[in-house]
Protein backbone atom coordinates (compact mmCIF):
# COMPACT_ATOMS: atom_id res chain seq x y z
CA UNK A 1 0.00 0.00 0.00
CA UNK A 2 1.14 3.52 -0.73
CA UNK A 3 2.33 5.61 2.20
CA UNK A 4 -0.36 7.91 3.58
CA UNK A 5 0.22 10.32 6.47
CA UNK A 6 -1.36 9.77 9.86
CA UNK A 7 -4.95 10.94 10.10
CA UNK A 8 -6.13 9.63 6.77
CA UNK A 9 -8.29 6.50 6.79
CA UNK A 10 -6.66 3.49 5.19
CA UNK A 11 -8.13 2.67 1.77
CA UNK A 12 -9.64 -0.72 1.07
CA UNK A 13 -7.80 -2.47 -1.78
CA UNK A 14 -11.02 -3.90 -3.23
CA UNK A 15 -12.62 -0.43 -3.24
CA UNK A 16 -9.53 1.07 -4.93
CA UNK A 17 -9.51 -1.68 -7.56
CA UNK A 18 -13.24 -1.20 -8.24
CA UNK A 19 -12.67 2.55 -8.63
CA UNK A 20 -9.74 1.86 -10.99
CA UNK A 21 -11.88 -0.50 -13.08
CA UNK A 22 -14.64 2.14 -13.19
CA UNK A 23 -12.11 4.68 -14.44
CA UNK A 24 -10.84 2.25 -17.08
CA UNK A 25 -14.38 1.60 -18.26
CA UNK A 26 -15.22 5.32 -18.40
CA UNK A 27 -11.99 6.27 -20.16
CA UNK A 28 -10.06 4.79 -23.01
CA UNK A 29 -7.95 2.50 -20.84
CA UNK A 30 -5.10 2.68 -23.38
CA UNK A 31 -4.65 6.28 -22.21
CA UNK A 32 -4.05 5.13 -18.63
CA UNK A 33 -0.91 3.88 -16.98
CA UNK A 34 -0.91 0.17 -16.14
CA UNK A 35 -1.17 0.89 -12.43
CA UNK A 36 -2.06 3.64 -10.01
CA UNK A 37 -0.73 5.32 -6.92
CA UNK A 38 -2.85 6.47 -4.00
CA UNK A 39 -2.65 9.84 -2.27
CA UNK A 40 -4.61 11.78 0.28
CA UNK A 41 -4.79 15.48 -0.52
CA UNK A 42 -5.78 18.08 2.07
CA UNK A 43 -5.29 18.68 5.77
CA UNK A 44 -8.44 17.15 7.26
CA UNK A 45 -11.93 16.08 6.22
CA UNK A 46 -13.21 19.59 5.46
CA UNK A 47 -10.17 20.69 3.44
CA UNK A 48 -10.07 17.41 1.55
CA UNK A 49 -13.66 17.98 0.37
CA UNK A 50 -12.75 21.56 -0.56
CA UNK A 51 -9.71 20.35 -2.53
CA UNK A 52 -11.88 17.89 -4.51
CA UNK A 53 -14.26 20.74 -5.35
CA UNK A 54 -11.35 22.94 -6.49
CA UNK A 55 -9.98 20.14 -8.69
CA UNK A 56 -13.45 19.47 -10.12
CA UNK A 57 -13.86 23.17 -10.97
CA UNK A 58 -10.47 23.25 -12.69
CA UNK A 59 -9.14 25.70 -10.10
CA UNK A 60 -6.54 23.37 -8.58
CA UNK A 61 -4.28 21.86 -11.23
CA UNK A 62 -1.45 20.38 -9.24
CA UNK A 63 0.13 19.51 -5.94
CA UNK A 64 3.46 19.46 -4.15
CA UNK A 65 5.49 16.52 -2.88
CA UNK A 66 8.61 16.29 -0.76
CA UNK A 67 11.43 14.04 -2.01
CA UNK A 68 12.53 13.72 1.64
CA UNK A 69 9.23 11.97 2.47
CA UNK A 70 9.42 9.84 -0.68
CA UNK A 71 12.92 8.65 0.29
CA UNK A 72 11.97 7.83 3.88
CA UNK A 73 8.70 6.05 3.16
CA UNK A 74 9.63 3.97 0.13
CA UNK A 75 7.17 5.66 -2.21
CA UNK A 76 7.92 5.53 -5.91
CA UNK A 77 9.36 8.69 -7.40
CA UNK A 78 6.59 10.46 -9.27
CA UNK A 79 6.86 10.61 -13.05
CA UNK A 80 4.93 12.39 -15.76
CA UNK A 81 2.10 10.10 -16.82
CA UNK A 82 1.56 8.54 -13.38
CA UNK A 83 -2.08 8.05 -12.49
CA UNK A 84 -3.06 8.80 -8.92
CA UNK A 85 -6.26 7.93 -7.10
CA UNK A 86 -7.04 10.70 -4.64
CA UNK A 87 -8.79 9.44 -1.52
CA UNK A 88 -10.94 11.34 0.94
CA UNK A 89 -10.26 11.63 4.67
CA UNK A 90 -11.85 8.23 5.29
CA UNK A 91 -9.75 6.56 2.58
CA UNK A 92 -12.47 6.28 -0.07
CA UNK A 93 -11.38 6.90 -3.68
CA UNK A 94 -12.87 10.07 -5.16
CA UNK A 95 -10.87 11.30 -8.16
CA UNK A 96 -8.26 10.08 -10.61
CA UNK A 97 -5.58 12.50 -11.84
CA UNK A 98 -2.59 12.11 -14.12
CA UNK A 99 0.70 13.94 -13.59
CA UNK A 100 1.43 16.20 -16.56
CA UNK A 101 4.64 17.88 -15.44
CA UNK A 102 7.07 17.83 -12.54
CA UNK A 103 9.61 20.45 -11.53
CA UNK A 104 11.97 20.22 -8.57
CA UNK A 105 12.42 23.54 -6.75
CA UNK A 106 14.03 24.48 -3.45
CA UNK A 107 11.39 25.46 -0.89
CA UNK A 108 12.94 28.93 -0.56
CA UNK A 109 12.71 29.44 -4.32
CA UNK A 110 8.97 28.73 -4.61
CA UNK A 111 7.28 31.61 -6.45
CA UNK A 112 3.75 32.62 -7.33
CA UNK A 113 4.30 30.91 -10.70
CA UNK A 114 4.70 27.60 -8.81
CA UNK A 115 1.76 28.11 -6.45
CA UNK A 116 -0.50 29.04 -9.39
CA UNK A 117 -1.31 25.32 -9.75
CA UNK A 118 -2.76 25.24 -6.24
CA UNK A 119 -6.31 26.19 -5.33
CA UNK A 120 -7.21 29.88 -5.21
CA UNK A 121 -7.57 29.97 -1.39
CA UNK A 122 -3.88 29.10 -0.87
CA UNK A 123 -2.09 30.42 -3.98
CA UNK A 124 -0.87 33.63 -2.37
CA UNK A 125 2.67 33.06 -1.07
CA UNK A 126 1.72 34.73 2.24
CA UNK A 127 -0.77 31.87 2.74
CA UNK A 128 0.99 29.06 0.90
CA UNK A 129 4.36 29.26 2.69
CA UNK A 130 3.12 29.14 6.32
CA UNK A 131 0.44 26.54 5.48
CA UNK A 132 2.92 24.19 3.80
CA UNK A 133 5.63 24.85 6.38
CA UNK A 134 3.30 23.78 9.17
CA UNK A 135 1.94 20.77 7.25
CA UNK A 136 5.34 19.54 6.11
CA UNK A 137 6.97 20.08 9.49
CA UNK A 138 4.35 17.74 10.97
CA UNK A 139 5.15 15.14 8.28
CA UNK A 140 8.91 15.56 8.61
CA UNK A 141 9.14 15.60 12.41
CA UNK A 142 8.89 11.79 12.84
CA UNK A 143 11.92 11.54 10.53
CA UNK A 144 13.95 14.06 12.55
CA UNK A 145 13.66 16.68 9.80
CA UNK A 146 12.15 20.13 9.40
CA UNK A 147 11.41 22.47 6.51
CA UNK A 148 14.46 24.39 5.29
CA UNK A 149 14.98 26.94 2.54
CA UNK A 150 16.99 24.43 0.50
CA UNK A 151 14.57 21.51 1.00
CA UNK A 152 13.58 20.07 -2.40
CA UNK A 153 9.92 20.31 -3.39
CA UNK A 154 8.34 18.62 -6.40
CA UNK A 155 5.84 20.90 -8.11
CA UNK A 156 3.48 18.45 -9.84
CA UNK A 157 0.98 19.59 -12.43
CA UNK A 158 -1.93 17.24 -13.04
CA UNK A 159 -5.10 16.81 -15.06
CA UNK A 160 -8.36 15.41 -13.74
CA UNK A 161 -9.24 12.22 -15.60
CA UNK A 162 -12.12 10.68 -13.68
CA UNK A 163 -14.50 12.05 -11.08
CA UNK A 164 -17.57 9.87 -10.51
CA UNK A 165 -18.76 12.34 -7.85
CA UNK A 166 -19.12 15.18 -10.36
CA UNK A 167 -22.66 16.25 -11.05
CA UNK A 168 -23.47 15.52 -14.65
CA UNK A 169 -25.86 18.08 -16.14
CA UNK A 170 -29.11 16.60 -17.39
CA UNK A 171 -29.94 17.09 -21.04
CA UNK A 172 -33.13 18.85 -21.94
CA UNK A 173 -35.55 16.75 -23.91
User: Is the residue at 173 inside a domain?
Assistant: no
**Total tally of structural domains belonging to the chain:** 1
User: Is the residue at 155 inside a domain?
Assistant: yes
Across the chain, which has 173 residues, the per-10-residue mean pLDDT values are: 64 93 85 84 86 96 96 92 93 96 98 96 96 93 96 98 74 39
For residue 115, how many other CB atoms are within 10 A of its CB? 20
Question: Reduced to 3 states, what is the DSSP secondary structure of residue 68?
Answer: helix
User: Is the residue at 3 inside a domain?
Assistant: no
pLDDT value at residue 2: 59
User: Is the residue at 142 inside a domain?
Assistant: yes
CATH number at residue 27: 3.10.400.10
User: Is the residue at 2 inside a domain?
Assistant: no
Residues spanned by the domain of 21 = 13-160
User: Is the residue at 4 inside a domain?
Assistant: no
Record the pTM.
0.89
pLDDT value at residue 168: 54
**Gap between the Cα atoms of 63 and 140, Å rounded:** 17
User: Is the residue at 8 inside a domain?
Assistant: no
User: Is the residue at 167 inside a domain?
Assistant: no
Amino acid sequence: MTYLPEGCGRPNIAELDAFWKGAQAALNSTDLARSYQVRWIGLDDATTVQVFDLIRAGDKKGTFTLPWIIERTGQPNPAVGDTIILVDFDGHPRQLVRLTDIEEVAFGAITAAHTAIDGTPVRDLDVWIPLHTSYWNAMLEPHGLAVTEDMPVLVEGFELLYDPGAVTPTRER
